[in-house]
Structure 1
Amino acid sequence: MSNTYAKIIIQGSPISKSNFKLSNKNGRSILPYNSGKYHDRYAIYEEQIAYEARLQNPNTVFTESLIAILKVYYKSEKRHPDTTNIPKSIFDGIEKSGLIINDAQIRRLIIEEYYDNKNPRFELELFGESTHYMNYEIREKQISSPPIEYSAPPNKKSQSISKPKKKTTDSNKFCCEICGKSIKKEDAIFANKGKTILCHNCLKRLF
């Protein structure tokens, strides 16, 4: 096979390790695969990618810069990892396969998200830049389609943004807008037509 094109298809729901962090006693990041824990799946997934990528492209080794087209097919439209976090696991596995020398070779990347509840997978195409170039455009639709709406993650819905109160229960005391500390009216510094209240220490830090 020519070393200017390769295609890899890996069956199963794509997973992301973007938020996974595990270190050994020396502080070095590790990716365990035989601890019997849930996080073994990250290393096992990379090994699966490495094995099948090499099996599907037995005589291909890329040494030049590459263009990558990644199509990710999830089981569910609502429950799946962030697509922007998916490439890290995939390209780490592709690098382990020996198909590429380093994932830094990927200089151009397009990611497309799809849904297939019967056959979740990802399909990756690699093109050598010496023989291929990328040409894409974004057009406005003549007829709009229903938007795919997103909501905040469950762990963020209950969070509220708290703002420092300008006044305390004592009408002669105020709170600094920056540090939130209580200050007496005579020690308060008013700015922005009285809408902003600062203490002397925070004012000094600003200059």
Structure 2
Amino acid sequence: MNSSYAKVMVLGSPISKSNFKLFNANGRAILPYNSGHYHDRYALYEEEIAYHARSQNPNVVIEEGVIAVLKVYYKSFKRHPDTNNITKSIFDGIEKSGLIINDAQIKRIIIEEFYDKDNPRFELELFGESEFDMEYKIEKRKIPVEKVIYSPPSNKARALINNSSKKEKEVSVNSCSICGKKIKGNDYITANKGTSIICKSCLGRGF
């Protein structure tokens, strides 16, 4: 059924696609779903989004340009993914559901970030441009609220992060992150943004 409106809600903390990619020796991205390891989470999350999008909007298909309003509720104020990266995860699942034809349909989008430690989730509303329009405004607060200050890590924290990354890279160059065997030549794929590698033997068994 062709429609101009849909709403999707998926419970649980949203995740970012960028944290779950693997790369083969040629640099091509791989997104596993049945390896039995941590990297399966994204593909499974994408399937979960597709399932809820379809079950909550049976027989609905939006074929036109779309205005999207996305509200993301994180469990923790201090630790959560970059909200800008969350949209890719969500719209990949929405496209897979068939609710939209292609995520290129998203012409305008508003993203809002909230916190709900007891009920993390995202809520997405899609509005067809033929029937809906969007207006927004930014105005000065009458009563200012307390600032939330974002700052880079301290020099000590940066040093710990850099040293940790170096150690991980040194280990990954010598051995497979799964089986621990030494790797020869280019018989591997990279994972975790290049800080670990997986040999082709483990790749063949797991993927």
Shared fold (TM-score, shorter chain, > 0.5): yes
Q: Distance in 1 between matches of 2:8 and 2:88?
A: 15
Deviation at 1:151, TM superposition (A): 2.1
Q: Distance in 2 between matches of 1:2 and 1:21?
A: 34
The Cα RMSD (Å) is 1.9
Indicate the residue corresponding to 2:182 in structure 1. none
**8 Å CA contact 1:8, 1:125 repeated in 2:** yes
Indicate the residue corresponding to 1:35 in structure 2. 35
List structure 1 segments (4+ residues) > 4 angstroms apart after TM superposition.
24-27, 153-157
Indicate the residue corresponding to 2:114 in structure 1. 114
Q: Distance in 2 between matches of 1:143 and 1:150?
A: 21
* Cα distance, 1:140–1:57 mapped onto 2, change above 3 Å: same
Instruction: Return the index of the structure with the highest Cα Rg.
Output: 1
| Correspondences of 1:1-207 after superposition (within 5 Å) | 3-24=3-24, 27-153=27-153, 157-158=157-158
User: What amino acid sits opposite 2:132 in the alignment?
Assistant: H
Deviation at 1:26, TM superposition (A): 6.2
Mean Cα deviation higher: 146-155 or 104-113: 146-155
Deviation at 1:40, TM superposition (A): 0.5
User: What amino acid sits opposite 1:135 in the alignment?
Assistant: E
User: What amino acid sits opposite 1:65 in the alignment?
Assistant: G
User: What amino acid sits opposite 2:97 in the alignment?
Assistant: S
Aligned pair count?
A: 159
Deviation at 1:29, TM superposition (A): 2.4
**8 Å CA contact 1:18, 1:88 repeated in 2:** no
Identity of aligned residues (%): 69
Deviation at 1:28, TM superposition (A): 3.8
Aligned residue for 1:84, secondary structure, equals helix
* Cα distance, 1:111–1:128 mapped onto 2, change above 3 Å: same
Deviation at 1:152, TM superposition (A): 1.5
Higher RCO (Cα < 8 Å, 6 or more apart): 2
Gaps of 5+ in 2: 160-207
Deviation at 1:19, TM superposition (A): 4.3
Deviation at 1:21, TM superposition (A): 3.1
TM-score under structure 1 normalisation? Answer: 0.72
Q: Distance in 1 between matches of 2:50 and 2:43?
A: 10
Aligned residue for 1:158, secondary structure, equals helix
* Cα distance, 1:5–1:95 mapped onto 2, change above 3 Å: same
User: What amino acid sits opposite 1:101 in the alignment?
Assistant: I
* Cα distance, 1:70–1:153 mapped onto 2, change above 3 Å: farther
TM-score under structure 2 normalisation? Answer: 0.72
Deviations 1:94-137 (A, max 9, x none): 00000011000001000000000000000000000000011000
Deviation at 1:24, TM superposition (A): 4.5
